[in-house]
Structure 1
């Protein structure tokens, strides 16, 4: 499968799209750059909304299911689905926010969008830096997983990263020299707890566009590969190969494209 973080990608033509052997394209959000907390000129809002429709159609035109979760810069209507639910079929482009989808028997993908407020190194919380959350998450991902049989294998796709991992903060911002922490402590707690009951083996997130990379959570008898593909606009993407070994799914390899 291929994983991307669009981040206002005015041009979405990375080389991986020339290869049609992928099963899924996972998009961690920010297809456009709307500022949902501050007013923008109406002309710019309409331009961004048109770009969202254009890019949604483009990413769904490659003959490979394109699944995305909304980022904090995507249209507010992409968060309309408020009740955790099992999705029964995919479109060419599917908004996976608050949905679970069974890819194969005992193999699921779970999606949840949005970001939490940024925290600075001195503990200052920037409450206007996120959407739709004004504080940390609660138990949203736990409620989604409750729809899935315990013990099944799961891929988690979110916009926001979990706290503590290397791709959840930016050190340091090129303009301000500040350290920004983007991760959710609640999401970290939820994921590490869920690993005790589910085979959560792959976690793809976005949001921290300039810190692509790969890390791991390890819990007793289980491991979860965490991938931040980085932004397509910056020339980043990740190709992840998974395989069923015995009764469990595992990440076999992760190929990252970096432009830095």
Structure 2
């Protein structure tokens, strides 16, 4: 069994790039391979400092969802710090959400969705404070919502605990701290340092505590954490068993295609020698694993 995701983040209302992407997928004959679209936030450029969501922000947000709807694929997204504040509200109390549902797009911020047999996605939007690495007390980019870190502490473990045996793809806007896909260090030799720690310490702690080890096997497996927010350091990293993916900023034309396969435990024991002890000691009979990850620049 396979599932292929088109992974996009940080669009910042670049409608022209969305049109280029659709043409690229058709020309390369890749659109037919896509099962779902994942967007990890920052559709538009709402002012999160004020914060003041305008009607223009809401209109542009709905416009982008409508354009992605024309791809003809199920769309799952979480809001970023530059998205309308209404996208963080429960769907029952948000007119924006009702409009989104008509477009066959699902905001799964603080929700769990089983997307395939044995595979669930968990969503959590928003950003945490980004700080200077050599001055961690100084905030460079403020969190939005301001209580995102405390919400992660309180809410994310509850969401994860709802999943009993499925493998998990965790989609967040901000990534975990101290990994290569969140730290912004453009000029490493510059003094004084301009490096920015843009990831969430709480998210990292949660991933650290919930990764299986040969001695401590968990029934579920957070196979992948997909995030955005940090524009410069796109790519692939990991925390324990969890692979961490940042597709890069789509406002610059970057995106990724991720393919997962559900493989039998016995096959993995023969093929994946580095994780042999993890599979061998697990009670699970099969696992969703990353078969392919491609980064593109449209």
Question: Do the two structures share a fold, i.e. TM-score over 0.5?
Answer: yes
Q: Judging changes above 3 Å, is the alpha-carbon distance between structure 1 residues 244 and 128 closer, same or farther for their aligned structure 2 residues?
A: closer
SS at match of 2:14: coil
What does residue 161 of structure 2 align with? 146
119-128 or 138-147, which deviates more: 119-128
8 Å Cα contact 1:109-1:157 kept in structure 2: yes
Q: In the TM superposition, what is the alpha-carbon distance from 1:120 to its structure 2 partner?
A: 0.8
TM-score normalised by the chain length of structure 1 = 0.85
What does residue 197 of structure 2 align with? 181
Q: In the TM superposition, what is the alpha-carbon distance from 1:134 to its structure 2 partner?
A: 4.4
Q: In the TM superposition, what is the alpha-carbon distance from 1:217 to its structure 2 partner?
A: 2.2
* CA distance in structure 2 between the partners assigned to 1:109 and 1:70 by the alignment: 15
What does residue 180 of structure 2 align with? 166
Candidates 10, 14, 20, aligned match of 1:6: 10
8 Å Cα contact 1:7-1:209 kept in structure 2: no
What does residue 86 of structure 1 align with? none
1:249 aligns with 2:288: yes
* 1:211-250 superposed matches below 5 A: 211-218=233-240, 223-246=241-264, 247-250=286-289
Q: Which entry has the higher C-alpha Rg, 1 or 2?
A: 2
Aligned length: 244
* 1:1-260 superposed matches below 5 A: 1-11=5-15, 12-13=18-19, 14=21, 15=23, 17-18=25-26, 19-38=31-50, 45-81=54-90, 92-121=104-133, 122-126=135-139, 129-134=142-147, 136=149, 137-149=152-164, 151-172=165-186, 178-196=194-212, 197=218, 198-218=220-240, 223-246=241-264, 247-258=286-297
Q: Judging changes above 3 Å, is the alpha-carbon distance between structure 1 residues 27 and 9 closer, same or farther for their aligned structure 2 residues?
A: same
* CA distance in structure 1 between the partners assigned to 2:51 and 2:117 by the alignment: 46
* CA distance in structure 2 between the partners assigned to 1:135 and 1:66 by the alignment: 24
30-39 or 245-254, which deviates more: 30-39
* CA distance in structure 1 between the partners assigned to 2:209 and 2:184 by the alignment: 26
Moved over 6 A (4+): none
Q: Judging changes above 3 Å, is the alpha-carbon distance between structure 1 residues 91 and 244 closer, same or farther for their aligned structure 2 residues?
A: farther
Q: In the TM superposition, what is the alpha-carbon distance from 1:138 to its structure 2 partner?
A: 1.6
SS at match of 2:170: strand
* CA distance in structure 1 between the partners assigned to 2:68 and 2:231 by the alignment: 19
Q: In the TM superposition, what is the alpha-carbon distance from 1:107 to its structure 2 partner?
A: 1.1
In the alignment, structure 2 segments of 5+ residues that lack a partner are 93-100, 213-217, 265-285
8 Å Cα contact 2:207-2:242 kept in structure 1: no
| Greater share of residues in helix | 2
8 Å Cα contact 2:131-2:141 kept in structure 1: no
CA distances 1:111-159 after superposition (whole Å, capped 9, x unpaired): 000000111121133286220034734232211111111x321111000
8 Å Cα contact 1:139-1:190 kept in structure 2: no
- RMSD after superposition: 2.5
